[in-house]
Structure 1
Amino acid sequence: MKFKKSLLSLILIFSICFVGAGKTFAIFGIEKKTTASLIGDAKSGGLFVAENVDESLPVASISKLMTYYLVKEKIAEGKLKLEDKVKVSRNASREEGSSLNLKAGEQISIKDLLDGLMIVSGNDSAVALAEAVAESESNFVTMMNEKAKELGLENSTFTNASGLTKNGQDNKMSTRDIFTLSKAIIEKYPEVLEYAKTTVLEQPARNFKKESTIPLVGQVEGVDGLKTGHTDEAGYCLVSTMKIKKGDSEFRVISVLMGAKTKADRAQYMKDMLNYVKQNIETRKLVDAEKFTRRVEVKSANQGYIELVPKEDLERVSMKGINYDTEVTVDDVKLPLKKGDKVGEIKVKNSKEVIATVDLVAKEDYSKAGIVKRIGRFFKTVFEVVETILP
């Protein structure tokens, strides 16, 4: 017998120690001081606090994260090597703004260009790397937009490799897209975090020395990246990442803010955001495999029912005071079942979206009842119905 799909909603109740995620920014009013802001878990991708996260905004040098991603991808594919030398074009040497002081015709390694890109935010480095990867910056821009689609960056468009405003056009990304790209880079190329260890970039052979543009390293414990951005159109922007340790737990957050009015404001707002999340973050068990059991009546089963349990615990980094709902979905039951066979799902949801899913599986083996037992159950059901409707 088929068991029709059922949907049960349960509410996980937690003690509320702080206001919910939708109100957290009221603590320091950051939603009034920036164009967009976000804090999320670098592992699960879950967002703790967010403000205007899907509007496409000018991102300035935060664009260089995409440039970095594409160069690292070509290195991983064996199409480039860190030690490969690049001849700097006149086009690259003439790039305005923050610079690695590249000279037309000089030979420089991919490694040195990446250092210039990520540590001092060299616009000339971005163009030189784009030309090394795709022969021209315009070809590279095509790759940037293609990669954005591949990564699911729904509100991102690129017109150049550096993030400068050119011919009235800006590279644009939503804060959610910046978070997604940063998360992908940290997962795939965790060495990106090594750049934050260099406070002053020195390339003696080129007589180059300049301070790092990566802020808050050494000022806020655990901060080890990632990228600044600034143009008149974008304002002062920053994506930071921080490792947090609490007891035996360790987790990483990514925080993004856009459109601060000054460099000092940008640094202070990010400090406020990071310190807030550090004080109010915790690891919580949202689904306990030892305690959660769901009994479902299945008359064709030998026992007359089956018991379902989560395949595993679900632990999640979360902000204190946030409540979650769970939806339990049971599929059509087809006997026999073996212990561990998937029969449904537990979906954990916040107020807007599903944040995690755990398989619901058979607690033990279940077989079909014999014909005599099934006939007996059928007549028992008939008698119960008759008894109910007759006076």
Structure 2
Amino acid sequence: MMKKTASFKFNKWLTGVLIPVLIALQCPLCPVPQAEAMSVYLTAPSAVIMDESTGAVLYSKSPNVKRAPASTVKILTALVILDRLPLDQWVTISSRVEGVEPSKLYLRGGEKIQVYDLLQAILMNSANDAALALAIGAAGSEYEFSKMMNQKAIALGAQNSNFKKASGLPAEGQYSTVYDLALIMRAAMNSVVIASILKKKASMMRTAEGKVYYLKSHNKMLWRRYDVIGKTGWTRQAGYCFVGSAGYAGKRLIVSMLGSKRLWTDVTAMAQAMSGYKPRELISYGDRGNDVFAIQSALRRAGYFHTRATGYYGKITVKAVRSFQRAKKIEADGIVGAETRAALSSYM
């Protein structure tokens, strides 16, 4: 009897736990079930959540659509630099960096700055001039450096990307996908240097001549309660972008998104989804959060909310909900419960 029980338990574990995990590992781009996907409302058209240790994709939304990557490219730039230059090497800043578009530190040609400090500048301040300085220092030109970037990306499994600029500034023919960027970020998290810099809220760097530059991270999640480190990006073409690593239940998950309209709302929503956050059963006047933002966005698509979604459930939202409820013959109490949420689902 004991052998039969042990065999039954093993078979139950095999079919219920091991086989699904193996399937997930062999099919990293398999879409999550629709019910799970609906629990994460994002303005970003493309997003991925990936298990950092296994590479398994836990959530995906248009993971292989090619989009402009903006400054998330700087994660790859950092990886290439770490392969090529020692951290304590002094880089003489080329005068070519002075004409680079912001964001930048306004470095001056002839200044000498160590590689580590320039890495801090690109990963924290997203300094485009520092990225170009590193590219020139490692390869002599940004064109030659872009070849190194693409070689590195392919070696990491990023097959649907083409990188042209170390900074991620717009360039014809430059593109990536959230899946490729997740792979690159996953590799970056194996670097103690990159991971430690991404955890910093503020720092400084000093030139060989004694000039000091003060640095502050663009990642607002460092000041919030979620354990999320990473690299931001924005251009008019790309929209808001983010690639990073989030801590959850003793493990780390890679998050990647491109084209967001509300970056921190989307990053927070992904962090909440990873932490097992569930939408409130009732949403009403005075509430705030991503679920309120999702309701407002759905009401706007339905034609009842005529202003920008804010994530705050104020009087305008109450009025819009009541109008929607009347049209759907639901009790017009201005509160979003199960019935109202179900009626809004086709707009979410």
Identical counterparts, % of pairs: 26
Q: CA deviation at 1:51?
A: 0.4
CA deviation profile, 1:48-102 (whole Å, cap 9, x unmatched): 110000111100001111110101112xxxxx32221111111122211111221
User: Which residue is 1:273 aligned to?
Assistant: 270
Q: Is the CA contact (8 Å cut-off) linking 2:41 and 2:269 kept in structure 1?
A: no
Partner Cα separation in structure 1 for residue 174 and residue 192 of structure 2: 25
Aligned equivalents of 1:52 and 1:27: distance in 2?
Answer: 16
The one-letter code of the counterpart of 1:201 is S
Give 1:13 deviation, angstroms: 4.2
Q: Contact 1:60–1:171 at 8 Å: present in 2 too? A: no
Please give the alpha-carbon distance, in whole angstroms, between the structure 2 residues aligned to 1:214 and 1:206. Answer: 25
Deviation at 1:11, TM superposition (A): 8.3
**Cross-structure match for 2:218:** 213
2:73 alignment counterpart: 63
Contact map agreement 2:40 2:269 (CA 8 A) in 1: yes
2:198 to 191, 196, 216: 196
CA distance in 2 between partners of 1:67 and 1:196 (Å): 14
Q: Distance in 1 between matches of 2:217 and 2:211?
A: 17
Whole-angstrom CA distance in 1 between matches of 2:134 and 2:39: 42
**Contact preservation (8 Å) 2:142, 2:166:** yes
Give yes or no for the alignment of 1:236 onto 2:229.
no
Q: Find out whether 1:45 has 2:55 as its counterpart.
A: yes
Give the SS at the match of 2:240. Answer: strand
Structure 2: gaps (5+ residues): 1-12, 18-31, 279-348
More helix by share: 2
Structure 2 residue 181 is the aligned partner of structure 1 residue 178: yes
* Structure 2 counterpart of 1:270, one-letter code: V
> Is 1:104–2:101 an aligned residue pair?
no
- Structure 1 residue 127, shift from structure 2 partner: 0.6
3-state SS of paired residue (1:208): strand
Alignment of 1:332-351 (within 5 A): none
1:61, 1:229 within 8 Å by CA — same for their partners in 2? yes
2:94 maps to 1:89 = yes
**1:275 to partner: Cα distance:** 1.2
1:12 to 11, 15, 33: 15
Partner Cα separation in structure 2 for residue 184 and residue 190 of structure 1: 11
In 2, Cα distance between equivalents of 1:254 and 1:275: 14
2:117 corresponds to which letter in structure 1? Answer: D
Alignment pair present for 1:25 and 2:30: no
- Contact 2:103–2:128, Cα closer than 8 Å, also in 1: yes
Unpaired runs of 5+ residues, structure 1, are 1-9, 15-19, 75-79, 282-391
TM norm structure 1: 0.60
Mapped to 1, the partners of 2:244 and 2:117 lie a distance apart of 23
**Alignment CA distance shift 1:230-1:62 (3 Å):** same
Deviation at 1:28, TM superposition (A): 4.2
Q: Which amino acid aligns with 1:208?
A: Y
Which has the larger Rg? 1
The aligned counterpart of 1:327 is none
Distance of 1:13 and 1:129 partners within structure 2? 50
Classify 1:94/1:119 alpha carbon distance in 2 versus 1 (closer, same or farther; 3 Å): same
In the other structure, the counterpart of 2:252 is 252
